A and B are shown apart, each in its own frame.
Chain A
Amino acid sequence: MVADKSASSVGEIYQAHLRRNLSITCLLVAFFLMGVTLRLWHLQIRRGDFFRERAENNRLRTLFSYAPRGVVYDRNGKVLALSRPLYKLEIVPEDVVDLDEVLLKLSRIVGKDLKDLRDAYQKGINRSRHQPIVLLNDIDRDLVGKILVRKYDLSGVQIGLVPTRNYLYSELVSHALGYIREISEAQLASSAYKDYRLGDLVGQSGIEARYENSLRGKNGKTQLIVNARGTKVKQYPLAAEVAGSDLKLTIDIELQKIADAALGDRTGAVVGLNPKNGEVLLLLSKPAFNPNLFSEALPPRIWNELLSGSRALNNRATQGTYPPGSVFKVFMLIAGLEEGVINSSFKAHCPGFYHFAGRDYKCHKKGGHGEVDLYSALVQSCDVYFYKLGERLGIDRIAKYAKLFGFGKITGIDLDSEKRGIVPSSEWKKMAFKKPEQQKWYAGETLSVAIGQGALTTTPLQIARALAAVVNGGTLFAPTILLGEKASSVRLRLKEDSLNLVKEALLGVVADESGTGKLAALPKDFGIKVGGKTGTAQVVSLAMIKGRKELDHHAWFAGYAPHEDPEIVVVALVEHGGHGGVEAAPIVGKVLERYFSKRFLHGPGY
């Protein structure tokens, strides 16, 4: 470096060169400013709306308050399901003054380990410090009281309230009512549940599921403005909660109780219908479950037992499909009469078996019934008569009438996952089997279907509404379970004569000395005639084929009363119960007795 002794002035340094460098500097500055301006343009103008939304999301929070769920009543106004408050012990982080002290005090009051409370707090803590953290779920009223009394020195502690269910008759109406349970992830993902949030309780089956929207009501909403620490700055209400609508069912809890007692510990179903309007008076399936258990987290052991063990969640009245056995003979007779292949004087000889295609088809009575006509064939449930009838009708005409009476399709009751059952026919066989040799319909199979066996399966509710159609003069209802709702119905084109002939025979089944359903009769002093049909359906199961164990038959009874102007149809099914006349008929008898007892005591018109 060359030392510059004189006080150097700008002029002495290479001036033009400096001016150029300064211009470059100024250009760089201008360049940078342009870049900044473009960036601001990009952030504020092009993406302004996006960032405005992000800013709003930062500061706005919504708090929800739950509406009480609608109450469910039986037809006489008895409460079946209540909305009950579920109290939760909660803590709001932003309001806590001294966390350790508060948790210590709480642990003394509730008698829990301090560690458990601290763990619950740690698990729940997040950036939203205004959001309550649940320390304990479902605490009892005593504890609520104890905590509220000391609230003044429990900073940040509050009692949260979520409406849950109290099913007053726990297992008694479980299948009709269904249950509510915490919303599943699959449900949350579906569009049908778009305004639900994690942890919400949702109707999962029965009435609770079908009428979820009206029972649920509307949750209240409060808008909060929070700051970066999650502390509430302002709040204003957005929507008040609207309580869910109450529902009144057509079910009569008293009949439900009687049927439950009559069925006892056996597996099965009892259905009661009003044949005049299609109202379901009784819908029982056993084993049943306690719907009160579901609003809380259910231990997997119990859950598995409900699903696979006893299959208690299965509503056997609408989801259980069973061969109807002799109950089906009622509809065979109508088919025969309508098609003109028999009349009231058509007779058959029953030696105890029917020889057909090189095989003997047995009648349930070993010695045979001798000569039977329409009336005696139904009263004594003679199989040979119906083998002959079936042979004359052929499978496709049988199927036509079975379908006419609603078999092979759902009844349309307001409950989910109803089963259809199977009405076999030559066409059905082609659809159901793949191999050509399996697709052929054999005439022998027709004989099985004619006595309600073979591939034919029905649900108890299907039997009830089909019988209702026979005794009410030919109206097939889609049963309803909601009181005041008019059940939709189909008018069947049937001759009055055929219906009356069959009804006379149904009366005989219960009233005659030789009838199979005598045990369903009402006491003489009631003065009410009962009609009906027994069924004892053979069960062909894998276990039986392997010869391990012979399963008992399913016991059926489908009855109605009063005979002259029927107002109730009751169907009882006992899985592997044995003989229908012995096992099922008394159940129906007891339900009818209860139904008519009030009238008997108080006189007509009650």
Chain B
Amino acid sequence: MAPVIKKLRELDLFLICLILLLAICGAINLYSAGLVRPDHVSANLSLVDKFLSSPVFVKQLLFYGVGFVIMLIFAFVPSQFWHKIAPYLYGLCLFCLILVFFFGVIQNGSKRWLNIFGFRWQPSEVMKYAVILMTAWIIAKFPPAPKGYTLRELLLPILIIAIPFLFVAKQPDLGTALVLAIVPGAMLIFVGVRRFVLLFSILFLLLVIPLGWNKLHEYQKRRVLTLLNPESDPRGSGYHILQSQIAIGSGRLLGKGFTKGTQSQLEFLPEHSTDFIFSVLAEEWGFVGAFFVILLYGVFILHLYMMVFKTHSAFEALIVFGITTQIFVNFAINLGMVIGFFPVVGIPFPLLSAGGSATISTLLALGIVLNVTRKLRFKELMFA
């Protein structure tokens, strides 16, 4: 055991504590969100029965457990491994996205899934991370001059970002596509681009947005419009956003109490254990609880960004920056949607929403961060 503990002590314990704290908050909140018969909680149930009365919670505990183990395992996978496989992983994911485009399974009107031996999975979820690795790889391979990348130099990275973006946007899954483009884009801007390139891209976006608007599906346009006035169609497209705001607002300062949220327990709040998990938290724990989690998340994100310079190579630094930005962008889009800043897009709250693949992949990514920010790595460096 001793060597394992010694190894573990090399890891960023503060970060692990933050992750654990967030997972605990997530578990408590998911217990309430996933309660099947809220009435029976107060009845004389045994502790085990109470535990089992929230199946979403039980499953999520399992995911947290598996995720933590995976995180700790990947904390000891050297970064050279990622550097080696980055282009291949990217290529494989792209191939899968093309397969989805032709042979994907259609569900709820969009083609996002690939059926392999009866197991259904979304290549776009893995692509989120593959594109980060690939971007880090290419930046590390072709670092920018002190003044930053020129437009010509950016052609290859932009291609790397644009191809998966277009495939995913075509599915259509605009939320994921946006995350796919924003995160590597942020990485490129972070390492530096020429000023005129930045100006050019802003101008380009301003031009593309009105054109893109016409390309949007009717339901997507409605979602954007109802954001401006959710009351205009309270039973239809405005329903999610309105019920979410009612849930959050009705929590007031101190909340309605654990498992006492009427909006979530009576299911007025849609998707309350996944996309709208934060509304449940804000309803039951009030402003105080919501603010606490926001603060915790802020410390978590800022701490991760601080880790960017605790790494030992450009590739590693960019991985940390990319993963952190990835988590932050997911967090921001979800939160923005829930509180009525952004239109409704199906993006879960990282580490708080229920869901196996999202939880495990986030924890896996955090495992990579733990690895590249390890202390006491003299030996490894010496004998690398």
Contacts and interface: CB of A to CB of B under 8 A. Distances in A.
A597 B191 CA distance: 117
Given A12-B314, A51-B245, A54-B246, A21 B192 contact: yes
A25 B329 CA distance: 12
Given A9-B314, A44-B286, A58 B339 contact: no
Interface in A392-427: none
Interface stretch (B65-73, B118-126, B301-309): B301-309
Given A40-B287, A55-B247, A227-B267, A25 B146 contact: no
A233 B39 contact: yes
Interface stretch (B107-115, B136-144, B162-170): B136-144
A1 B145 CA distance: 9
B339 to A, nearest CB: 5
A10 interface: yes
A349 to B, nearest CB: 89
A431 interface: no
Contact of A13 (B191, B295, B302, B332): B191
Given A1-B153, A21-B190, A29-B305, A55 B314 contact: no
A161 interface: no
Contacts of A17: 146, 192
A40 B291 contact: yes
Contact of B266 (A25, A35, A59): A59
B360 interface: no
Given A1-B142, A1-B153, A43-B339, A33 B294 contact: yes
Contacts of B250: 48, 51-52, 54-56
B379 to A, nearest CB: 18
Contacts of A229: 267
Given A4-B143, A21-B192, A58-B262, A40 B248 contact: yes
A29 B328 contact: yes
A49 B253 CA distance: 10
Contacts of A2: 142-143, 145
Given A9-B314, A10-B311, A10-B317, A48 B268 contact: no
A22 B340 CA distance: 28
Interface in B203-259: 235, 243, 245-253
B252 A52 contact: yes
B251 A33 contact: no
A568 to B, nearest CB: 66
Nearest to B145: A2
Interface residues of A, number: 50
Given A18-B190, A26-B305, A43 B314 contact: no
A540 interface: no
Nearest to B301: A29
Given A17-B146, A40-B287, A49-B252, A25 B190 contact: yes
Contact of A8 (B266, B314, B335): B314
Given A25-B305, A40-B282, A226 B291 contact: no
Nearest to B146: A14
**Which bucket holds chain B's interface residue count?**
35 or more
B290 interface: yes
Nearest to A5: B141
Interface in A57-78: 58-59
B45 interface: no
From A43, A51, A225, name the one whose CB has the most chain B CB atoms within 10 angstroms.
A43
Nearest to A7: B313
B309 A10 contact: yes
Contact of B302 (A29, A41, A233): A29
Contact of A52 (B249, B298, B302, B311): B249
Contacts of B340: 39
B305 A39 contact: no
B266 A51 contact: no
B309 A58 contact: no
Contact of B39 (A19, A22, A32, A234): A234
A3 B266 contact: no
A29 B252 CA distance: 25
B323 to A, nearest CB: 13
B251 A44 contact: yes
A14 B192 contact: yes
A4 B142 contact: yes
A44 B282 CA distance: 9
A43 B39 contact: no
A233 B40 CA distance: 12
Contact of A4 (B141, B267, B291, B312): B141
A56 B283 CA distance: 13
Contacts of B202: none
B213 to A, nearest CB: 24
Contacts of B145: 2
Interface string A25-38: 11001101101110
B294 A36 contact: yes
Contacts of B294: 33, 36-37, 40
A114 B308 CA distance: 71
A228 interface: yes
A45 B251 CA distance: 9
Given A9-B314, A227-B267, A4 B301 contact: no
A55 B305 contact: no
A278 B187 CA distance: 98
A45 B252 contact: yes
Contact of A44 (B253, B268, B312): B253
Contacts of A40: 248, 282, 287, 290-291, 294, 339
B263 A55 contact: yes
B200 interface: no
A47 interface: yes
A526 interface: no
- Of B189, B252, B253, most buried by chain A (CB within 10 Å of CB) is B252
Interface string A417-447: 0000000000000000000000000000000
A228 B325 CA distance: 36
A12 B143 contact: yes
A44 B287 contact: yes
B240 to A, nearest CB: 12
A36 B266 CA distance: 26
Contacts of A1: 142, 153, 156
Given A9-B314, A12-B143, A51 B249 contact: yes
B267 A228 contact: yes
A10 B286 contact: no
A366 interface: no
B341 interface: yes
Which of B245, B313, B314 counts the most A-chain CB atoms under 10 A from its CB?
A: B314
A26 B302 contact: yes
A30 B297 CA distance: 11
Nearest to A227: B266
A50 interface: yes
A197 to B, nearest CB: 22
B140 A8 contact: yes
A306 B245 CA distance: 54
Contacts of B146: 14, 17
A491 interface: no
Contacts of B253: 44-45, 48
A8 B313 contact: yes
A301 interface: no
Given A22-B321, A37-B294, 19 more contacts: A2-B145, A3-B141, A4-B143, A8-B315, A17-B192, A18-B190, A22-B305, A22-B309, A29-B328, A36-B335, A43-B248, A43-B339, A44-B253, A48-B250, A51-B248, A55-B250, A58-B246, A58-B266, A59-B266
Interface of B: 39, 140-146, 153, 156, 186, 189-192, 235, 243, 245-253, 262-263, 266-268, 282-283, 286-287, 290-291, 294-295, 297-298, 301-302, 305, 308-309, 311-315, 317, 321, 325, 328, 332, 335-336, 339-341
6 contacts: A19-B309, A25-B321, A29-B302, A47-B249, A52-B252, A225-B266
A-B complex: 10 closest residue pairs judged by Cβ atoms: A51-B249, A48-B252, A55-B250, A1-B142, A227-B266, A228-B267, A43-B249, A44-B287, A52-B250, A51-B250
